[in-house]
């Protein structure tokens, strides 16, 4: 038995629910309304059948975020999240590059890397090398002036933490950004790359080993094993090709406003709502959210 959660905050009505049930009954004639999570915002439908087929059946619901998963292990005990363009709304390296007058050039490389068209490690080294000589002060200014958490990020992390889950920020970005963001939002741990300095100036190099797609997947597996969790008890979210392995490894892998390279392999897409919608996915009512 599976749960199909429909999320359309402020506009989820009987018409939408009936349309979803009509599509589901082509797979399972007994598909039925299960319960409101929050009336008008998020609802659970109960259905039997192949989970991927259920997802495809509901794919045509316009402006609705749809999540299909087994009933068991719905609340996730481990959250592993990408940072840039996922937990925060920016690509931190691109914003830092603006302080060196190189945002356009570096952002073009970033976009190609996130689409999976460039080797991530090589692209990272190329971009960091272009920032050689930039003063460390630019990082703190960039963090204060440019980097903003995405809506719902703090509520998601804090609510899951109160529920006993562990959360890890895993990024191909940099400790200089990830540590303050993690502390602000309530993550338990960080895995990120380290920029190298000569005094207060960037050398244009990054410390090895580089956190890439494989390292992100490894971080999820290591934390899962350390906590003694089943795969089904884990949740991962990202936006780009560098998150593919991590998202595929999770019990529930989510593509957030994602590039096609990630969206095509994820269990679900979060395209229309903030990150706190992942609490509805786990069956948590709005009244129980720990709001920032």
Query: Closest Cα partner for 102 from 74, 124, 134, 145?
Result: 134
Active-site pick, 44, 65, 84, 239: 84
Active-site pick, 82, 239, 243, 267: 82
Phi-psi domain of 66 (left: phi exceeds 0; alpha: psi -120 through 50; beta: other): beta
Q: How far apart are CA 153 and CA 145, in angstroms?
A: 18
Query: Closest Cα partner for 269 from 232, 233, 235, 239?
Result: 239
Query: Closest Cα partner for 112 from 123, 104, 101?
Result: 123
In the structure encoding, which two tokens stand for residue 85, read together? 């363009």
Cβ atoms within 10 Å, residue 73: 17
Q: Does 84 qualify as catalytic in the annotation?
A: yes
Strands (E), 71-143: 78-81
Q: How far apart are CA 13 and CA 5, in angstroms?
A: 14
- Cβ pair 264, 247 in contact under 8 A: no
- Cβ pair 114, 259 in contact under 8 A: yes
Q: Does 82 qualify as catalytic in the annotation?
A: yes
Residue 168 CB contacts under 8 Å (≥ 6 apart), including other chains: 78, 79, 80, 81, 187, 188, 189, 190, 191, 219, 220, 223
Active-site positions read: 82, 84
């Amino acid at each position: 038995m599976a749960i199909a959660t429909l999320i359309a905050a402020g506009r989820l009505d009987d018409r939408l629910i009936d349309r979803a049930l009509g599509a589901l009954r082509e797979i399972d004639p007994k598909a039925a309304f299960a319960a409101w999570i929050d009336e008008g915002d998020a609802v659970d439908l109960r259905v039997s059948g192949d989970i991927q087929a259920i997802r495809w059946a509901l794919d045509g619901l316009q402006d609705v975020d749809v999540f299909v998963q087994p009933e068991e292990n719905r609340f996730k005990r481990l959250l592993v999240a990408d940072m840039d363009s996922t937990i925060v709304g920016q690509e931190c390296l691109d914003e830092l590059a603006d302080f060196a007058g190189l945002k356009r050039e570096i952002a073009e490389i970033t976009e190609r890397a996130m689409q999976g068209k460039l080797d991530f490690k090589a692209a990272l080294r190329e971009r960091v090398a272009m920032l050689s000589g930039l003063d460390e002060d630019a990082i703190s200014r960039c963090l204060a002036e440019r980097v903003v958490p995405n809506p719902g990020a703090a509520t998601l992390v804090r609510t899951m933490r109160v529920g006993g889950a562990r959360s890890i920020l895993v990024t191909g970005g940099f400790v200089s950004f990830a540590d303050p963001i993690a502390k602000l939002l309530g993550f338990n741990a960080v895995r990120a790359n380290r920029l190298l300095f000569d005094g207060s100036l960037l050398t244009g190099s990054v410390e090895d080993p580089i956190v890439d797609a494989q390292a992100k997947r490894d971080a999820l597996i290591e934390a899962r094993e350390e906590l003694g969790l089943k795969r089904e008890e884990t949740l991962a979210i990202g936006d780009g090709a560098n998150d593919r392995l991590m998202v595929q490894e999770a019990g529930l892998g989510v593509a957030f406003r994602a590039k096609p390279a990630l969206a095509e392999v994820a269990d679900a897409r979060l395209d229309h709502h903030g990150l706190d919608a992942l609490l509805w996915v786990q069956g948590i009512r709005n009244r129980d959210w720990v709001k920032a």
